[in-house]
């Protein structure tokens, strides 16, 4: 029988930032947690939307035409093909959902290696 997944406990198992950890899979998608701080690189995903749910902290999602600010419990979906970069002025904890194999940078050559916890 499967157990409930405690996201805070999973986040406590690592310190690396911008390195998502897969905690489960759902219909061909990775359910991941990640810690972030600072600015990520500008990128886009040509084939998939990008889902962000903030668990802790405040995150700006900068796009060329606007910035969306998210606090705990807030989510935003960047449409596929839209160039964006997450910016965290403090450490932010998030839940991400992406099709399995989606590179976090939009480019497989520079993407963080997927790790399951």
- What is the rounded average pLDDT for all residues in the chain? 91
- Given a cut of 90, is residue 100 above it in pLDDT? no
DSSP of 69-97? EE-TT-EEEEPTT--EEEEEEEEEEEEEE
Residue 101 has a pLDDT of: 77
Q: What is the pLDDT of residue 106?
A: 57
CATH architecture of 7-116: Sandwich (2.60)
**How do residues 47-80 score in pLDDT, each as one tens digit?**
999 999 999 999 999 999 999 999 999 999 999 9
Per-residue pLDDT, averaged over 104-110, amounts to: 59
Q: Are 86 and 59 in contact (CB under 8 A)?
A: yes
- Structural domain boundaries of the chain? 7-116
- In 3D space, the residue among 82, 6, 25 whose CA is nearest the CA of residue 50 turns out to be 82
Which tokens hold the place of 59? 């995150």
Structure tokens given for 33: 């947690």
- Which residue in the block uniquely carries the two structure tokens 């950890």? 21
């Amino acid at each position: 029988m499967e157990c409930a997944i405690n996201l805070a406990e999973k986040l406590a198992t690592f310190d690396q930032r911008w390195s998502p950890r897969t905690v489960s899979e759902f219909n061909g998608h990775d359910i991941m947690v990640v810690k972030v701080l600072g600015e990520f690189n500008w990128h886009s995903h040509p084939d998939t939307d990008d889902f962000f749910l903030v668990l802790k902290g405040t995150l700006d999602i900068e796009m060329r035409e606007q910035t969306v600010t998210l606090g705990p419990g807030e989510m935003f979906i960047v449409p596929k093909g839209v160039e964006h970069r997450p910016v965290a002025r403090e450490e932010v904890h998030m839940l991400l959902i992406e099709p399995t194999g989606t590179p976090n940078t939009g480019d497989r050559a520079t993407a963080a290696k997927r790790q399951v916890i």
